[in-house]
Amino acid sequence: MRVAVALALLGAVAYEGYEVVESPGSQLFGKTLVSGPKNQRVVALTYDDGPNPPYTGELLSVLRTEGVHATFFVVGRAVAAYPDVVRREVLDGNAIGNHTWSHEHLVLDGQSSLRRTLERTDRAIFDAAGVHTRIMRPPFGGRDWLVLGEVRKLGYTPVMWSVPLANDWEFPPARVIAARVLRYAGDGAIIDLHDGNRGLLCARMHVAAHECDRSADVAATRLIVDALKRQGYRFVTIPQLLRMQAATRTASHASE
């Protein structure tokens, strides 16, 4: 009994430790982008796991109507399946980020596998939209020294998020997703929602339709944008956020 209790406690401690080091704000394994300037009224909307018709298209229509741009961290296999959607993302003025080929946990990959999944996705993005991205987001937020080291060798800036995840993969109503986001959104915030589900090709695979249903995220986006606009926020892409940070650092150094 004592051994069982001790093992349970050890497991709990190990899990808590894992949660701490893998939290989006942790810089233990190396520098990542977590948020933008804290003194500017800007936020960055980001979406993971697409493209995912018809929901990504519906989301793009909301963004266009609202006059805002977002950043889409796309899964390579979905890009290859739906290149027209990625092309529209770019033509609408949105930014694209690399989210690996099949949404694998990068900590489980070796160096060659890690490089292969990012390079394969980059080729798919370029074939679809004619652009190379220099930003990426590790699926599940999973990273360690090897992952971030290889990511940087390939020229990517790893991007996390500052607003706690809204658990939209559990399919809560739009108002719940929006409330969870708005509770924590502030100056320089990076918001992470989902327009797909791990890059699954629901229209082509034997997957339950609800697993790719992101209609609540589409509706929540409208609520989030409207609320933050009323608070005076401006929406920027991750590349724009990075440029703002660089300008802030330059101005800070110049004043020293």
pTM: 0.90
Distance from chain centroid for Cα 120: 19
Q: Rounded to whole angstroms, how far apart are CA atoms 220 and 214?
A: 10
216, pLDDT greater than 60: yes
Sequence-distant (6+) residues with CB within 8 A of 147 are 29, 106, 107, 109, 114, 138
Average pLDDT over residues 184-212: 88
Total residues found in the chain within this entry: 256
140, pLDDT greater than 80: yes
209 in Cβ contact with 51 (< 8 Å):
no
pLDDT at residue 254, rounded to an integer: 57
163 in Cβ contact with 189 (< 8 Å):
yes
Torsion sign over Cα 183, 187, 189, 193? positive
Which of residues 5 and 128 earns the better pLDDT score?
Answer: 128
Q: What are the structural domain ranges in the chain?
A: 31-255
Question: Rg of the chain's alpha carbons, rounded to an integer?
Answer: 19
Q: What DSSP line would sit under 70-103, residue for residue?
A: -EEEE-HHHHHH-HHHHHHHHHTT-EEEE--SS-
Dig out the tokens for 144 from the structure. Answer: 């360690």
pLDDT tens for each residue of 166-183:
999 999 999 999 999 999
39 in Cβ contact with 187 (< 8 Å):
yes
169 in Cβ contact with 141 (< 8 Å):
no
pLDDT tens for each residue of 54-78:
999 999 999 999 999 999 999 999 9
As its CATH architecture, domain 31-255 has: Alpha-Beta Barrel (3.20)
Dig out the tokens for 123 from the structure. Answer: 């080729």
Dig out the tokens for 202 from the structure. Answer: 């629901």
The residues that are catalytic are 48, 194
Average pLDDT over residues 39-43: 95
Dig out the tokens for 113 from the structure. Answer: 């596998």
